[in-house]
Amino acid sequence: MHIHILGICGTFMGGLALIARSAGHTVTGCDAGVYPPMSTQLREQGIALVEGFDADQIGLKADLYVVGNVVSRGNPLMEAILDRGLPYTSGPQWLADHVLQGQHVLAVAGTHGKTTTSSMLAWIFEHAGQPANFLIGGVAPDLQVSARFDATRRTFVIEADEYDTAFFDKRSKFIHYRPRTAILNNLEFDHADIFPDLAAIETQFHHLVRTIPQTGCIIRPAASDALDRVLSRGCWSHVQTFGASGQWRAEPETDNGQRCRILQEDRLQGTLDWSLSGAHNQMNALAALAAAQDAGIAPTEGIRALNAFQGVRRRLELRGEVDHIAVYDDFAHHPTAIATTLDGLRHRVGHEARILAVIEPRSNTMKLGTMAALLPASLAGADRVFCYGTTEGKQALGWDPRQVLAPLGDRLWAGSDLQALVRAVCAAARPGDHILVMSNGSFGGIHQKLLDGLAHRTLQDPH
C-alpha cells in the first residue's frame, strides 16, 4: 500500500511514517516547513517528502491519505482529497487498523511525563532482551529513535496523547489504541484550545478506560482527585496504584531522589540508583515498573534497566557548559511541569546554586492565557526569570508577561526581542549558575545562542 501522510514532520506522524515503512508500505509525505531532525530521519529511511500542501500531490496516486491534526478544512490538498472522494483516515486510526491489532498495547497517558515514562517502559523491555515496538513523542538516547516496528514482536509501547485525532475526528488520539495495559500518570487541565475545562478531558479518559479489557490493567497514582472521578464513572479492569500511599512506593535514600528503595506491597524489589532526579521521575519509574510487570518483566529486571537509563532528550538535557555556567533544555510548558522541572533541577544542583529560568509560553494553552495566572507560583523556585513573548504577530500572547509575572518583582525580565533576551541572560549569569530553558518549541535556537554568548563574554573578559 502507498500511503501519503499529511503533516509528516510532527513527532507522532513522523514516527507513524517510520512504522509504516517498517511494515512494508510505500510511504511519502508532506508538511509546511519540512525541517530536521525529523526530515533527516525520514529521508534516511527512504521516505520522500514534499514541501507544502499543494493539491497537485494527488498526482502521486496514493492508495490512502493519512491526515495529521495539523491539517484543517481549507488546506488545498485536503480539499482536493475531499472533492475527488479519495480514501483518507487519521494517523491513530491507521495505526489501530494496520499495526496495533494483535499487539499487547501498553499505553502511557497523562498530562505530564508521557514521553519519559514511555521511554522508560520501552527501555525496560530492551534491556531485558525482549525488545518492544514503540511510538514515543521524543527520543531517548538509549533507544536512538522515536518509533520502531517489527511484526514478529507482539508488544507495543505507545505514548497516548489526549489531544484530538483530526479535524474530522475530535476524540482523543488514545481512544484508538485499545490498550491492555494503561498508565494514567496524572490528570490536569491542559489544551485550552480544544477543551473547555477539566471535566471535558476527564470524559475522554473515561472513554479510554471503557476500551480496556477486564483482563487488562490500569496503573494510576494513588492520590488524584481527577482520576478518582474518571474511574468512579466505570472501571472494569484491575487497578494498581503508585505513590506515597500506593501499592508501588519509592523510599528516597538521598535528598535529590537519585537513589531510592522500590517497594511493591511493602516488599522490597530493589534499589533505584540512577542519573535522573526529582520526585516526578520516581513516580514515572514506579508506573513504568508496574506496567512492565503486567507484561511479564520482573521488577528486579526493570530496576536494573532503569539504573542504566540515560533519560530523554529535552528533559533537563544539558546542552553545554561555558565558564562553569550550565545550559539546560526542557520541554516544560505547563505551569505544573515548569514547577516540577525547577524542583528536579534544584534537587540536583542544591540550594546554594542559582537557577536562571528562561521560558517561552508558546503552547496554544499558554498563548490563550488560560493558565497564565499560575505562572508566578510555578516559577517561584527560580532565582531569576526571563520570559520571551510578544502581544503581536503569529506567536502573540493573549496576555502581557510584565503584568502577569509582576509578582516576581526584580527577578523578572520580559521582552519580545530574542537577541535582547540572550544578552540579558548572559549579562546576568555568573560561574556556578544553571540556565534552564523551557519551551515546547525550538525557541529560535536560543540554547546555542546562549552558549555562544557566554563563550564570547569569557573571551572578552576571561576573569
Enumerate domains of the chain plus CATH numbers.
Answer: 2-91 (3.40.50.720), 100-307 (3.40.1190.10), 317-460 (3.90.190.20)
- CA 158 to chain CA mean position, Å: 12
Give me the pLDDT at residue 462, please: 58
3-state secondary structure 287-312: HHHHHHHHCCCCHHHHHHHHHCCCCC
Task: Collapse the DSSP code of 250 into the 3-class scheme (helix H, G, I; strand E, B; otherwise coil) and give the result.
Answer: strand
Give me the pLDDT at residue 395, please: 52
End-to-end CA distance of the chain: 63
Give me the pLDDT at residue 364, please: 67
Give me the pLDDT at residue 313, please: 67
* Residue 79 burial (CB count, 10 A): 13
| Backbone conformation region of residue 144, classed left if phi is above 0, alpha if psi is from -120 to 50, else beta | left
Count, residues in the chain: 463
Give me the pLDDT at residue 8, please: 93
Inter-CA distances, 378 with 26, 111, 336, 343, 425, Å: 46, 16, 7, 10, 20
Give me the pLDDT at residue 393, please: 46
- Pull the grid cell for residue 373: 495566572
> Low-confidence residues of the chain, pLDDT below 50?
393-394
Give me the pLDDT at residue 394, please: 46
Give me the pLDDT at residue 392, please: 52
pTM: 0.79
